[in-house]
Structure 1
Amino acid sequence: MLQMICVDVDGTLVGTGNQVLPEVWEALKDARLAGIRIVLCSGRPAVGHALEYAKRLDPDGWHVFQNGASIVKVDTGESRSEELPHDLLVGLVEKARATERILETYTDREYAVEDTSPVSAEHAKLLGVPFQPRDLLSLSGMVVRAQWLIPYAEKDALLSEAHDGLQLHPASSPVMPQTLFVSVTRDGVNKGSAIRKVAGFYGFDLGRVMMVGDGHNDVTALEVVGYPVAMGNADKEARAAAKYHVGDVDSGGLVEAVELAMKE
């Protein structure tokens, strides 16, 4: 068997109904009971539904949130997260207010959004947290990430803009198909860098680690593991980075990936 399976959330664990299929839960439970560490590896923060998923998958394990900016041991709350430099954060907030784009800011456990539109409210529901707009710079504690919520038509314009010192992670969710989520972390912080750290915490060889994902923001993780797996609904960047391919999220493709990990 492999030593560790890293699992993306939206489009991999969670499908169009914002639900995890029962057979997926069962397969992941069997893998954990067999001794394989299961690591949630998501763009979502360590709150709401994502935190519940992590605790169910591996209740005393390390998990990756916020595209690698948050690395949290969910039973103790211990964090090995990466700060978003304050000057760069302020620059993002100023840009958001000038352009009237939706921006969110995050610590490990909290987030802020000033926008009061239905898109922001829908995202709070997806995350499983109350929708309570607040000043983007009002969070206490270490801010680790920001995130743009934009229509797909604005993707090229946003990605072509300078984000010096920062790394962008475009991603989508089948639950909000009209919205592109562009996560922003400090340069060099991504799912791949976080998986390297988690494997190190456990003393695992990356060659015996699997990553299962579907999006552009999963590519850095797919590139560092020995068993990179793309879902059937994956975008072209994730498909190109993967060595193995399984069915789509709504047909339980993740079960196929777990079965592969159990055999290797």
Structure 2
Amino acid sequence: MLSMICVDVDGTLVGTGNVVLPEVWEALAQARTAGIRIVLCSGRPAVGRALDYARRLDPDGWHIFQNGASIVKVDTGESRSEELPHDLLTGLIEKARASNRILEVYTDREYAVEDTSRVSVAHADLLGVPFKPRDLLSLGGTVVRAQWLIPHAEKEALLAEAHTGLQLHPASSPVMPDTLFVSVTRDGVNKGSAVTRVAGFYGFELNRVMMVGDGHNDVTALQVVGYPVSMGNADKEARAASKYHVGDVDAGGLVEAVALAMRE
């Protein structure tokens, strides 16, 4: 068996109905019982549904949130997260207010958004948290990430803009197909860097680790593991970075990936 399976959420664990199929839960539970560490590896923060998923997958384990900016041990709340420098954060906020684009700002456990449009409301529902708009500079803890919510048509324009000192992670969700989520972390902070750190916490070699994903923001993690797996609904970047390919999320493709991990 492999030592560790890292699992993306939107488009991998969770499909178009914003639910996890029962057979997927069963397969992952069997893998954990067999001794494989299961690591949530998501762009979502450690709140609401994502936190519930992590606790169910591996209740005393380390999990990766916010595209690698948050690494949290969910039973104790211990954090090994990466701060987003304040000067870079204020630059993003100035840009958001000038452009009228939706920007969210995150600590490990909280987030702020000033926009009150249906997109922001729908995203709070997707995360499984109450919608409470607040000033982007009002968070009390350490800010680790920001995130743009834009129409897909604006992707190339946003990615072409200068984000000095920052790394952008475009991703989508089958639950909100009209919205592109572009996560922003400090340069060098991504799912790949976080998977490498978590494998180190456990003492695992990366060549015995699997990453299962479907999006551009999964590529850095797919590139560092020995078993990179893309879902049937994956975008071209994730498919190109993968050695193995399984079925669509709504067809339970993740079950195939778990079976592969248990026989290797």
- TM-score (normalised: structure 2): 1.00
Check if 1:231 corresponds to 2:223.
Answer: no
Deviation at 1:239, TM superposition (A): 0.1
Residue 84 of structure 1 is matched in structure 2 by 84
Residues of 1 paired with 2:12 and 2:131: CA distance? Answer: 25
Residues of 1 paired with 2:180 and 2:125: CA distance? Answer: 16
Superposed counterparts of 1:1-264, under 5 Å: 1-264=1-264
Deviation at 1:4, TM superposition (A): 0.1
Residues of 2 paired with 1:194 and 1:22: CA distance? Answer: 28
Deviation at 1:68, TM superposition (A): 0.1
Residues of 2 paired with 1:251 and 1:14: CA distance? Answer: 11
Residues of 2 paired with 1:202 and 1:89: CA distance? Answer: 32
Residues of 2 paired with 1:56 and 1:258: CA distance? Answer: 16
- Number of corresponding residues: 264
Deviation at 1:184, TM superposition (A): 0.0
Which residues of structure 2 form unaligned runs of 5+? Answer: none
> 1:24 corresponds to which letter in structure 2?
V
Deviation at 1:58, TM superposition (A): 0.0
Deviation at 1:114, TM superposition (A): 0.1
Query: What are the Cα deviations for residues 35-91 of structure 1, in whole angstroms up to 9, with x where unaligned?
Result: 000000000000000000000000000000000000000000000000000000000
> 1:226 corresponds to which letter in structure 2?
G
RMSD over aligned CA atoms reads 0.2
Residues of 1 paired with 2:81 and 2:211: CA distance? Answer: 20
Residues of 2 paired with 1:214 and 1:256: CA distance? Answer: 14
Residues of 2 paired with 1:248 and 1:70: CA distance? Answer: 27
Residues of 2 paired with 1:52 and 1:141: CA distance? Answer: 21
Residues of 1 paired with 2:160 and 2:197: CA distance? Answer: 30
Residues of 2 paired with 1:248 and 1:223: CA distance? Answer: 21
Residues of 2 paired with 1:140 and 1:60: CA distance? Answer: 27
Residues of 2 paired with 1:208 and 1:31: CA distance? Answer: 14
Deviation at 1:120, TM superposition (A): 0.1
Residues of 2 paired with 1:152 and 1:197: CA distance? Answer: 32
Residues of 2 paired with 1:137 and 1:125: CA distance? Answer: 22
Residues of 2 paired with 1:66 and 1:141: CA distance? Answer: 15
Which residues of structure 1 form unaligned runs of 5+? Answer: none
Secondary structure in structure 1 of the residue aligned to 2:135: coil
Deviation at 1:139, TM superposition (A): 0.3
Structure 1 residue runs of 4+, over 3 Å off? none
- TM-score (normalised: structure 1): 1.00
Residues of 1 paired with 2:138 and 2:236: CA distance? Answer: 38
Residues of 2 paired with 1:232 and 1:83: CA distance? Answer: 34
Residues of 1 paired with 2:98 and 2:193: CA distance? Answer: 32
> 2:44 corresponds to which letter in structure 1?
R
Secondary structure in structure 2 of the residue aligned to 1:142: coil
